[in-house]
């Protein structure tokens, strides 16, 4: 079955460490997105990519980095420069030029300890 | 600045009740409005609305859009405990969705 896989589901990080969240899709979607979700808030866009080897900053890109070396994969690195990284991170994908076809992964809950 | 506002932010009702969730928006360009249900982790798609006045329906859930007044409502009739979730509204101005904060709905048995 096609879908998006995020790993790990839970992640603990010490302050000052970089950590990478994995997102893999087998839906043949060109567009992929990373969102952050905090309690009581909607989804905020971190980065998105519409084609391999190209990506764009979203509304809250500071302290994050991404790569898109393969169509299927869009990993997110949370760097030590991110001041408040504890949050729920969601990855999504879609066909470029559509919005209703967003498919989401199950998310990664990152906690800084 | 484009924004999407949902109300109420949380709602507690008893099983069997009917609920109405609201979503208002201000965007410079409008393509569509979408509703998602988020039970634990991954949001799942419910409806996409593009035209005013046309109700979308799926079982006990229905939604309608008013493009003149810039809002949408999501109705759930005969609620069940399985309807407990966060309901997210998003607007698409240019294929990059703008999300509301969500309405947390709790259905008590």
Residue B82 backbone phi and psi in degrees, to 5: -70, -10
Q: Which of B44, B48, B102 sits opposite A100 (nearest CB)?
A: B48
Q: Does B88 touch chain A (CB under 8 A)?
A: yes
pLDDT of residue A37: 94
d(CA B64, CA B72) in angstroms, rounded, equals 6
d(CA A74, CA A46) in angstroms, rounded, equals 12
Q: Please say if the pLDDT value at position A71 is more than 90.
A: yes
Q: Please say if the pLDDT value at position B61 is more than 90.
A: yes
B100, B4 contact by CB (below 8 A): yes
d(CA B33, CA A72) in angstroms, rounded, equals 27
pLDDT (average), residues A15-37: 95
Partner residues linked to B44 by β-bridges? B37
Q: What is the DSSP string of B73-98?
A: EEEE-S--GGG-EEEEEEEESSSS-E
Q: What is the pLDDT of residues B9-19, one digit of tens each?
A: 999 999 999 99
Q: Please say if the pLDDT value at position B48 is more than 70.
A: yes
d(CA A11, CA A16) in angstroms, rounded, equals 15
pLDDT band at B52 (very low <50, low <70, confident <90, very high): confident
In the predicted model, what is the mean pLDDT of chain A? Answer: 92
Q: What is the pLDDT of residues B68-100, one digit of tens each?
A: 999 999 999 999 999 999 999 999 988 788 999
pLDDT of residue A88: 96
Contacts of A35 in chain B (CB under 8 A): 99
Sole residue written with tokens 């309608």: B64
Q: Dihedral through CA B25, CA A43, CA A16, CA A61, nearest 10?
A: -60
Question: Are B34 and A96 an interchain contact pair (Cβ–Cβ within 8 Å)?
Answer: no
Number of helices (H), then strands (E), belonging to chain A: the values are 0, 11
Selected residue with higher pLDDT from B96 and A72: A72
pLDDT of residue B21: 98
Q: Please say if the pLDDT value at position A22 is more than 70.
A: yes
pLDDT of residue A42: 85
Q: Please say if the pLDDT value at position B4 is more than 70.
A: yes
Q: Which of A42, A44, A106 sits opposite B88 (nearest CB)?
A: A42
pLDDT band at A1 (very low <50, low <70, confident <90, very high): low
Q: Please say if the pLDDT value at position A98 is more than 80.
A: no
Q: Please say if the pLDDT value at position A2 is more than 90.
A: no
């Amino acid at each position: 079955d096609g879908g998006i896989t995020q790993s790990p589901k839970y992640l603990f990080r010490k302050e000052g460490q970089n950590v990478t969240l994995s997102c893999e899709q087998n839906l043949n979607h060109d567009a992929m997105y990373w969102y952050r979700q905090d309690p009581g808030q909607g989804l905020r866009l971190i980065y998105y990519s519409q084609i391999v080897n190209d990506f764009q900053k979203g509304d809250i890109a500071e302290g994050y980095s991404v790569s898109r070396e393969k169509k299927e994969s869009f990993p997110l690195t949370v760097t030590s420069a991110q001041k408040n990284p504890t949050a729920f991170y969601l990855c999504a994908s879609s066909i470029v030029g559509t919005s209703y076809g967003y498919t989401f992964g199950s998310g990664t809950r990152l906690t800084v300890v | 600045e484009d924004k999407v506002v949902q109300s109420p932010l949380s709602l507690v009702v008893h099983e069997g009740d009917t609920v109405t969730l609201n979503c208002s928006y201000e965007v410079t360009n409008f393509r569509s409005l979408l509703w998602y249900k988020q039970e634990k982790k991954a949001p799942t798609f419910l409806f996409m609305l593009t035209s005013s006045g046309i109700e979308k329906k799926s079982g006990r859930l229905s939604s309608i859009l008013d493009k003149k007044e810039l809002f949408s409502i999501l109705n759930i009739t005969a609620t069940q405990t399985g309807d407990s979730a966060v309901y997210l509204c998003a607007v698409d101005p240019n294929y990059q969705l703008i999300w509301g904060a969500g309405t947390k709905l709790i259905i008590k048995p």
